[in-house]
A and B are shown apart, each in its own frame.
Chain A
Amino acid sequence: MTTASLPNPASGWLRPLAGPGAAASAQNAARAVPSPAPPARMSPAHDAFERQLAPLWQRAQAGDEAAYREALRLIAARLRGYLRRRMQSLPDELEDLVQETLLALHLQRGTHDPAVPVSAWVLAVARHKLVDLWRRRGRQEALHDPLDDVDEAALAGHEPEAGSARDLGVLLAVLPAAQRAAIVLTKLEGLSVAEASARTGASESAIKVQVHRGLKRLAALVGPGRSPGGDAA
């Protein structure tokens, strides 16, 4: 863990100035606070991910929504690759876990320490969500069928689509009315917090709180093997 805090100019992080990541590297080098190298065990593919993500993420954290959207897309693609290899027995639930992790990253984006490579932070959260899934599974497996006899060959060609079986409308219907209204107005209809406040009569800070709580509730619902409450599913 502590290796992440030690700048290591010898690693592949700032070196390939002439490579395809040159623009991103130059952008990084120009930053006021130099980013330390990711831990040495990271693969070249991971370094590329970091180079691509870091500048976007920095703008996203400062409030650039377009950069945030782009960063989340990059992260989603990386998470799919990371989790697919580790969830071969549960391919149908891969996208659920990708979505649960994205929600967790969004809710916890304030816990990213700018001195830590954002890719390491993303994967630490993904690992946490994966371990959490296995723990929940472990408990369920004790009661239900084991997964050992799943035919791995039949799964090999299975390409998970980029969507989960859950429907956003169904998930939103489970939320309390105030949380649902806050999310629908600010997140789906694209109103500003001030406009949503004027529309509902709730204060601006109340709208923000309801959005945050609603997303937290959604995060608790979208995970693999979780039921979106009662008969709503």
Chain B
Amino acid sequence: MKTDELIQLLAQGAGPAPRAVAARRLAPGALLGLLVSAALAAAWLGWVPVALYEHLGPWFKLAYAGALALAAAWLAARLGRPVARTAGPLAAVAVVLALALLLGLGSWWSLPAAERAAALLGHSAAQCPWNVLALSLPPLAAALWALRGLAPTRPVAAGAAAGLFAGALGAFGYALACTELALPFVAAWYTLGMALSTALGALLGPRTLRW
């Protein structure tokens, strides 16, 4: 086949370039992944009792996970393009992380010394990161599938962004079922769970993001 023949073929009836490819690719999978995570959390652990929403804790979890999911989605969408401009989304991720860690630390410092250990460890510190990681698996599969349909040229970074995005969605799902209320607990163990998911994404990126 002559290359010019191929060019004729490609240009014929090509129309305008598709728009918002990253959003159209990421959004449906992310939504589905989030729903699966939330459903799994509910079926496995049950919803948080409504009365607990009078406390700050559940809202902090949802706000933290939600904000990080948005920032990470922006990052993943950028890394789905060749020559990705990542400065903006990386700054957004850093701001969300820093705010959450500062709030956790501030809350920890404000507590009497005797209560600090309980606020940090709660009753489920050993399970929390693993639960977040487990619930991030459905959105991680969806995010990697979405990125694979784009054109990531930095598979480790793109995989890590997909992992962070999925971790935040998994944390959001887990927050609907987790009864811990202390901010230091959330800042430490939710963050660790999302870091595990990010690492898993970075590991899977080079293997799955082939195009």
A positions within 8 Å CB-CB of B: 1-2, 4-5, 60-63, 65-66, 68-69, 72-73, 76, 95, 98-99, 102-104, 106, 108-113, 115-116, 120-121, 124-125, 127-128, 132, 162-164, 166-168, 171, 183, 186-188, 190-193, 215, 222
Contacts and interface: CB of A to CB of B under 8 A. Distances in A.
Contact of B15 (A63, A66, A103): A63
A108 B151 contact: yes
A192 B15 CA distance: 10
A102 B3 contact: yes
A127 B153 CA distance: 9
A87 B85 CA distance: 29
A217 to B, nearest CB: 13
Nearest to B8: A69
B3 A95 contact: yes
Contacts of A98: 3
> Lowest 3 A-B CB distances belong to which pairs?
A63-B16, A124-B82, A110-B21
B50 interface: no
B21 A102 contact: no
Contacts of B116: none
Task: Give the dominant DSSP class at A's interface.
Answer: helix
A183 B8 CA distance: 12
Interface residues of B, number: 35
Given A115-B85, A187-B13, A110 B1 contact: no
Contact of A65 (B2, B14, B20, B84): B14
Contact of B83 (A62, A72, A113, A186): A113
A124 B22 CA distance: 18
Interface in B6-28: 6-22
B45 to A, nearest CB: 39
Interface of B: 1-22, 80-87, 150-151, 153, 210-211
A125 B151 contact: yes
Nearest to A207: B13
A62 B10 contact: no
13 contacts: A1-B85, A73-B7, A99-B1, A103-B10, A104-B151, A111-B22, A111-B81, A125-B153, A128-B82, A163-B2, A168-B6, A191-B13, A222-B1
Given A125-B153, A193-B13, A171 B1 contact: yes
Nearest to B78: A113
B1 A164 contact: yes
A112 B14 CA distance: 16
A112 B8 CA distance: 21
B13 A4 contact: no
A113 B1 contact: no
Given A61-B17, A76-B7, A104-B211, A167 B1 contact: yes
A112 B17 contact: yes
Contacts of A171: 1
A71 B81 CA distance: 20
Given A99-B6, A110-B17, A187-B9, 14 more contacts: A5-B87, A60-B14, A62-B16, A65-B12, A68-B11, A110-B20, A111-B22, A111-B151, A124-B83, A125-B153, A167-B1, A168-B1, A186-B13, A187-B10
A111 B153 CA distance: 11
A36 to B, nearest CB: 10
